[in-house]
A and B are shown apart, each in its own frame.
Chain A
């Protein structure tokens, strides 16, 4: 079936009172962002629903993109016919033919914004229902939970019919909750945490620590590639890489082994807070899940969190590893995350980190390094890039290789 329009129904934001308009505008621009390479699609974010006029572009491709946009409850591709009853009847039969199974149930759901056209709402339901009953042998009307709801929408510029409704990604439009800094290591957890933050409307910026030569270029590329995967939900994401070699060397040299990890994490957090302040971020997100590793005990969180009053949000805090892996597979980050490149969290991991670091002692040990100087130096070396959908980092020669193959 060739569709003319896709109608999008808004999720929770319909209930959000005064912010409603800004939410709808944001959703509209997010939809335009993910469809940036479909220039002929026109996006109309109206007050109750959004209409995407396809102008001939491939509806399956457009719907695949919509599938990832948060703030959409569901969407229906629709076909436009002229303001003529016979055209409505013929198209209704055509749509149902695609889905017909003997014994199936259906109902007609008519809406009219054009009150000058022919039949009233009830008459339309009744008439089209009759047409369908005539056309198919074994089909029944059912008002509650029918197999197919055929929607007929009478507007001034035509009549729109749709028989499929697909669930959207739910959640809130990305950006409506403000901006947050995401500490992205490249493991399994942090991309999932970023996804969940975005799902609740947070515009995330990725903060990635890299320590050449202890970590490889591939580890950095992998973090950027993961960010690229997550752009499917927003359109584009800022990626901030923070040089961390000097700090790791200093900490390793001066801090007792049991506290290496705790002090390193405090330094990472300080840097992320500084970046959040520079960039008007309202909070920090990470992929910590309680009890998963040494740094993710309540004691560790207390000792690390000590450096800031900014909220640190942990979307995965109570999830089990396999629940996290399920989401990572769903959002297609799992295979990338398990690529075996050393990241800065594993490279200096002591054999036996303190799972219950003492806050006072942490503060004491940290005095052995020049905290402010190291932070300032790392911030001076920060590099920012904007990652767009479709960009690839791990195998930049893909196109070159394609010529060979």
Chain B
């Protein structure tokens, strides 16, 4: 099996699973319990938090655990709206955000918030000038993803942070679900980035766990109220086995980040170089530094994306139409639509997304299968 759908989810690393199991078996007390058994769980919780904070170079108190990327995005968007509603109701975001951000915005729009969706260029990137032009006195949040989940473009985060430098009251949120561990120089914890969302299962941790970075001093209304966990900001008994597993997974990934990225980039390049010369292929991800190393999106004109996915599947190769979340709805990719790709092309798009375990040999196999399928598709496509 060749798994090229790592932006949908990744395989849990064996040692992470071991951690998950050991914690579930041995340290299953409730971190909030007074007794020593619970106290041990609390120590492990805080040690996990410390490790994540150290790996990212931030403070212990700036890491807050969530159930994953969707919760993180919902929390920052709606939590900001609730926290800052007295100061304004205008939010700026891009037109290529993940539905977790986009649909949170839509929900807020129904409640009377105004949302500005910034356009993107042919690479799927917003411009910092557009952000600057959209800012109003009542703007409370700018939310932009680090790496687009469908085509892999990297947003100009540093330039946007620069635009927001003298606007300290506007929350700046980055959805980094696809961006962590991919050698993205724009994804840094500088003093103008307030919130960043992460999801564990995109880097070999289990499902149902994630975290946000919330810069010290920046306030967010809680969405989950209850027993007061996570400094009363996110209630709910902590998912300790997954948290410890995620701390380990993050370490494993970041320890080898540069090697991983070099490998992913090489594998992606091998596929890209092969497919780009076929006349009916349109590339949406470019081999330049505006794109993450692990995502390649392209279309074979005249063939529906799902047809291509299933055709590869017959050869035990797993790719996806654009994003996993929308792939079963037979909709044109929202990112490609925003990039002004005509619908007959965008419905033919597929995404190859890599992780550090993919190899050049797998890329060669993929390329061979691609040749076969391309020939086959000619029959329906002439």
Q: Report which A residues bind B (CB closer than 8 A).
A: 216-218, 394-395, 397-398, 401-402, 404-405
Known: A217-B36, A218-B36. A401 touches B248 (CB 8 A): no
B interface list, Cβ under 8 A from A = 19, 22-23, 34, 36, 39-40, 43-44, 47-48, 51, 244, 247-248, 251
A404 to B40, CA, bound (A): 13
Q: Is the interface of A mostly helix, strand, loop or mixed?
A: helix
Evaluate contact between A404 and B36: CB separation under 8 angstroms.
no
- In angstroms, Cα B19 to Cα A402, docked, is 11
Q: B35 → chain A, closest Cβ, in Å?
A: 9
Q: Which 10 A-B pairs have the closest CB atoms?
A: A395-B43, A405-B247, A404-B19, A401-B47, A405-B248, A401-B44, A405-B51, A404-B244, A405-B48, A404-B22
Closest-by-CB residue of A relative to B36 is A217
Pick the residue among A216, A217, A401 that contacts B43 (CB under 8 A).
A401
User: Within the assembled complex, what's the spacing in Å between the Cα atoms of A401 and B34?
Assistant: 20
Residues in A with CB closer than 8 Å to B251 are 405
- Contact present for A405 and B244 (CB under 8 Å): yes
Q: Which residues of A contact B22 (CB under 8 A)?
A: 404
Q: Which of A216, A217, A395 has the most CB of B within 10 A?
A: A395
A398 touches B39 (CB 8 A): no
Q: Which residues of B contact A404 (CB under 8 A)?
A: 19, 22-23, 44, 244, 248
Q: Which residues of A contact B47 (CB under 8 A)?
A: 395, 398, 401-402, 405
Residues of B within 8 A of A401 (CB): 43-44, 47, 244
Pairwise interchain contact B36-A397, C-beta atoms closer than 8 A: no
Q: CA A395 – CA B31 in complex, angstroms?
A: 13
17 chain-A/chain-B pairs, Cβ below 8 angstroms:
A216-B36, A217-B36, A218-B36, A394-B43, A397-B43, A397-B44, A401-B47, A402-B47, A404-B22, A404-B23, A404-B44, A405-B47, A405-B48, A405-B244, A405-B247, A405-B248, A405-B251
Docked Cα-Cα span, A402 to B43, in Å, equals 11
Chain A residues with CB below 8 A from B244, complex form = 401, 404-405
CA–CA, A402 to B22, complex, Å?
13
Chain B at the A interface: SS class: helix
Complex CA gap A74/B32 in Å reads 46
Give Cα A405–Cα B251 distance, bound, in whole angstroms: 8
Given contacts A405-B47, A405-B251, 10 further A-B contacts (CB under 8 A): A216-B36, A394-B43, A397-B40, A398-B47, A401-B44, A404-B23, A404-B244, A405-B51, A405-B244, A405-B248
Q: How far is the CA of A338 from the CA of B48 in the complex (A)?
A: 22
A404 to B41, CA, bound (A): 13
Q: A394 to B39: give the CA distance in the assembly, Å.
A: 9
Nearest-neighbor residue (CB-CB) of A395 within chain B: B43
Report the minimal beta-carbon distance from B133 to chain A, rounded to whole angstroms. 40
Task: Say yes or no: B40 contacts A218, CB within 8 Å.
Answer: no
Cα A398 to Cα B248 with chains together (Å): 15
* Bound CA span A216–B33, Å: 13
Chain B residues lying within 8 Å of A217, measured Cβ to Cβ, are 36
Asked whether, in the complex, the Cβ of A405 is within 8 Å of the Cβ of B40, the reply is no
Query: In whole Å, how far is B239's beta carbon from the nearest beta carbon of chain A?
Result: 15
How far apart are the CA atoms of A76 and B287 in the complex, in Å? Answer: 52
Chain B residues, CB < 8 A from A218? 36, 39
- Shortest CB-to-CB span from A117 to chain B, Å, is 48
Q: How far is the CB of A370 from chain B (nearest CB, A)?
A: 34
B203 CB to nearest chain A CB (Å)? 14
| Docked complex Cα distance between A404 and B25 (Å) | 13
Min CB gap A343→B, angstroms = 15
Set of chain B residues within 8 Å of A402, measured between Cβ atoms = 47
Asked if B43 and A405 make an inter-chain contact with CB atoms under 8 angstroms apart, the answer reads no
Complex formed: what's the CA distance from A217 to B251 in Å?
33
CB-nearest residue of chain B to A398: B47
CB-CB < 8 A to A395: which residues of B?
43, 47
- Residues of A within 8 Å of B247, CB to CB, are 405
Distance of B245 from chain A, by nearest CB (Å): 9
Nearest chain A residue, comparing its CB with the CB of B43: A395
Q: Contacts of B44 on A, CB cut-off 8 Å?
A: 397, 401, 404
* Residues of the A chain whose Cβ atoms lie less than 8 Å from the Cβ of B19: 404-405
Minimal Cβ-Cβ distance residue in A for B246: A405
Q: Closest Cβ of chain B: how far from A361's Cβ, in Å?
A: 38
CA of A398 to CA of B36 in the docked complex: distance in angstroms? 14
State the CA gap A398–B42 with chains docked (Å).
12
**Whole-angstrom distance between the alpha carbons of A362 and B248 in the complex?**
59
B275 to chain A, nearest CB (A): 40
Contacting residues, chain A, for B36 (C-beta < 8 A)? 216-218
Q: When chains A and B are docked, how far (Å) is the Cα of A405 from the Cα of B247?
A: 6
In the assembly, what is the distance between CA of A401 and CA of B19, in Å?
A: 10
A19 and B271 alpha carbons, distance in the complex (Å): 80
A98 to B19, CA, bound (A): 46
Most interface-central of B23, B43, B48, B248 (chain A CB within 10 A):
B43
Q: Among A395, A398, A404, find the residue whose CB has the most chain B CB atoms closer than 10 A.
A: A404
For A398, list chain B residues within 8 Å (CB). 43, 47
Name the A residues within 8 Å of B248 (CB-CB): 404-405
The smallest beta-carbon distance between B12 and chain A, in angstroms, is 15
Chain B positions within 8 Å of A397 at CB level: 40, 43-44
Report the bound CA distance from A397 to B244 in whole Å.
14
Task: With a 10 A CB-CB cut-off, give which of A217, A397, A398, A401 has the most chain B CB atoms.
Answer: A401
Contacts of B48 in A (CB 8 A): 405
Which of B44, B247, B251: most chain A Cβ within 10 A? B44
Select the residue from B34, B36, B39 with max chain A CB neighbours within 10 A. B39
Best-buried of A216, A395, A405 by chain B (most CB within 10 Å): A405
Distance of B231 from chain A, by nearest CB (Å): 14
- Cα distance, A397 to B47, chains bound together (Å): 10
Contacts of A394 in B (CB 8 A): 43
Distance of A223 Cα from B290 Cα, bound (Å) = 54
B69 smallest CB distance to A (angstroms): 22
- A270 shortest CB reach to chain B, Å: 32
**How far, in Å, is B60 (CB) from chain A's closest CB?**
10
A218 to B40, CA, bound (A): 11
Beta-carbon nearest neighbor of B244 in chain A:
A404
Q: Please report the C-alpha to C-alpha distance between residue A395 and residue B48 in the assembled complex, in whole angstroms.
A: 13
Nearest CB on B from A403, distance (A)? 9
A96 CB, nearest partner CB in chain B, Å? 31
Instruction: Give the shortest distance, in Å, between B236 (CB) and chain A (any CB).
Output: 22
